[in-house]
Structure 1
Amino acid sequence: MKLKLLLAISFVMVILYGCNKDEVKDVPTNAPADQNASQQTGDTPTDQVTFNFLEFSLDVDYSATESYEVEYENKKSGISAKLQDDRQNVKLQGDEAYTKLEPLFKQLNFDSTTPNDEVIDQVIKVFNIEDNYQSIEVEVEFMDGNEKEFKRLP
């Protein structure tokens, strides 16, 4: 009985640790902020915003086994970031991913009113996406609350 309890506790601890790996711990002072969290702390969102979205997801498929994926979230609970590039064998999470993604995000200047093709063109240029992709999909939650999905097939 004690062994089962010990194994269950160990299993739960491993799961909880794994869930936290993509959280950004070393958040720069100029990192963008969730408007709701900023209002609660008294900061104004414009004081800290360096890009105009709270969530950004990029999925580029090159083949059934090769893709380039980016996930970024800035919520009340904190910032999380992931970057996976199967072609370069890169898998980054948390601070490492954020450090790599922040300068790229700063180059993006689209908003919720930007046409689909302009958004995709910017993402391709900024993230250096190779022309031989099968599909590209970008999902964004903007600071103004709008959520948009942008797609392109070659």
Structure 2
Amino acid sequence: MNKYSLKTTLITATLLLGACGTNNNEDTAEETPDGTVTNPQQSETVDESQSNENSPNELGFQYFNLNIGTLENENTIHAEVNLNDSGSEAIYKNVPASTDLQGDAAYALLEPIFAEMGLTKEMREEEVIERATNEFEINEFTNFELEIEFEDGDNKTYSKSVE
């Protein structure tokens, strides 16, 4: 080997090892002026479930009050949620599932149900009733009453009684 190719090989190897030696995925902590340490990668990450928690925009409504009665019990399902600036107020009673909750625990169970229903004010009454009874797993009902205040302030009531 001549001395120029040996030098070229050594320089190339040195550059490659230098480039491989830096770990860009390494957590770097930065000290802020007040002396606390932060991780810049973490501070840029936003937990969307917390930032949008109880946001009417997610579900499309501000108020939801559902009552479903069956032959076995006239109050089989009661789900009520009021979303406001200070959070949510929720009540969830489901007799077949032996559920009787209030507050955050009730909202935690109801939120995925509401998201799955995807109710809009443009839906026909039959479709709203079908989606709600399917999501709450009620096959046959004697009384269905639902009052919704959509996020734009429009109120709609859906009701059906079966004898």
TM-score (norm: length of structure 2): 0.62
What is the aligned-residue identity percentage?
27
SS in 2 for 1:73: strand
Corresponding position of 1:125: 134
Asked if the contact 2:76–2:95 (Cα under 8 Å) also holds between the matched residues in 1, the reply is yes
Q: How many corresponding residue pairs?
A: 113
> Letter of the aligned partner of 2:67 in structure 1?
D
User: Runs of 4 or more off by more than 6 Å in structure 1?
Assistant: none
SS in 1 for 2:59: coil
1:99 aligns to 2:137 (yes or no):
no
1:86-119 deviations in whole A, cap 9, x for unaligned?
3333211111111111110111222112111111
Corresponding position of 1:55: 63
Please, which of 124, 146, 149 is the counterpart of residue 141 of structure 1?
A: 149
**Gaps in structure 2 of 5+ consecutive residues:** 1-48
> Letter of the aligned partner of 1:126 in structure 2?
E
Asked if the contact 1:84–1:92 (Cα under 8 Å) also holds between the matched residues in 2, the reply is yes
Q: Which has the bigger relative contact order, CA under 8 A and spacing at least 6?
A: 1
Cα shift at 1:66: 4.3
- Assess, with a 3 A threshold, how the Cα gap between structure 1 residues 109 and 65 changes in structure 2: closer, same or farther: closer
What is the RMSD of the two structures over their aligned residues, measured on CA atoms?
1.9
Bigger Rg, structure 1 or 2: 2
**Gaps in structure 1 of 5+ consecutive residues:** 1-26, 35-48
Asked if the contact 1:55–1:140 (Cα under 8 Å) also holds between the matched residues in 2, the reply is yes
> Letter of the aligned partner of 1:123 in structure 2?
A
Distance 1:53 1:145 in 2: 8
Corresponding position of 2:118: 109
SS in 2 for 1:50: helix
- Assess, with a 3 A threshold, how the Cα gap between structure 1 residues 128 and 33 changes in structure 2: closer, same or farther: same
Distance 1:65 1:124 in 2: 15
Corresponding position of 2:51: 29
